[in-house]
Amino acid sequence: MFRQGSMDTIRIVPGAGYTGEGKSQGLARGLLVYYGDRNITGEGMGIGSIALRDREYTCFSRSWTDSEEDGVLKRSFSLDTRMRWGIRGKPSSLLTRWIESGTSAYMLLPRLQHVVMLPVFPIRRLLGIHPLFETIPSRGTVTFTYRISGHHVEVHAEIHVPIGQGETLCLLNELSAAWFTAGWDGSQPVAPPPGWEKICMDQLPVSLVDPVHGVRFFMDQPSVSPPVAFTVFRGREHTGDLCWAGFCIELGPLDGSQEFPEVRYSVGFTTGADV
């Protein structure tokens, strides 16, 4: 049974000073979401942030600039950080390649993700395997324009990143998995997604739910112009140093010849009886 909530309990704010939690601490985030006075972004990347996956690494942003145009926030992220995996603080290119390759396979097998991950965290703890973030020359920028209207956000992403053969650019919209513990079948909570799951366009809008506070978090269908291949994922992980739940728009894999696309989508929240 949902606890009745007030729409005034949800706040969506820029929150540029928040450095995050867990594995992603220190990475640049998009908009933060608060329930009352509690930040429910957690380890998630916020509403409208980025990651780029090439053949060897995943790249993120640790620097950004904010500007306003007609009272609307614009945030430009620089893809200036590369994630490598290491053993007891020493980076390993071979280990990074294995993990990145495994991640690609993992995302294609949603029903097996939970089983596959069961031995991973004990092995990581035993061997002292952790991600390490390195500053690199910027791969380019992505500028997000966020139009906040009540408990909805219209997001416009302008991409200025040369995307090479086989690379994918991810637009991330993630909050805390400690809050969003369930999926939604259109009328009631259901089991949460197993890691990342691919969403077909006719399933959108798709949701995640906080059944304790009666909050539904959803994303509607994106538009990409000029058209390029893209996939929508919904996901949730709450193990070890991972605690995120949300949605990803993955552009690509691309062949390196496309124009820079622009992406538009919306994210929103409902509470109480509206959930």
Which pTM does this prediction carry?
0.86
Contact between residue 133 and residue 27 where contact means Cβ atoms under 8 Å apart:
yes
Name the one residue in this structure whose structure tokens are 């996939």: 231
| Correct CATH for 7-274 of 2.70.98, 1.20.120, 1.25.40, 3.30.70 | 2.70.98
Rounded Cα distance, 141 and 215, in Å: 33
Which one has a higher pLDDT value, 115 or 27? 27
Sign of the C-alpha dihedral computed for residues 199, 29, 52 and 124 taken in this order = negative
3-class state of residue 165 by DSSP: coil
Average pLDDT, the chain: 84
Rounded Cα distance, 247 and 155, in Å: 13
Question: Is the pLDDT reported for residue 119 higher than 50?
Answer: no
Contact between residue 234 and residue 206 where contact means Cβ atoms under 8 Å apart:
yes
Count, residues in the chain:
275
Name the one residue in this structure whose structure tokens are 């909570």: 189
- Bridge partners (DSSP) of residue 82 are 59, 134
3-class state of residue 99 by DSSP: helix
Cα distances (angstroms) measured from residue 104 to each of 93, 97, 98, 101, 138: 17, 11, 10, 5, 24
What does the angle CA 199 – CA 204 – CA 209 come to, to the nearest 5 degrees? 85
Q: What is the pLDDT of residues 54-107, one digit of tens each?
A: 878 899 999 999 999 888 999 999 999 998 876 777 766 766 666 666 665 555
Where along the chain do its domains lie? Answer: 7-274
Average pLDDT over residues 167-196: 91
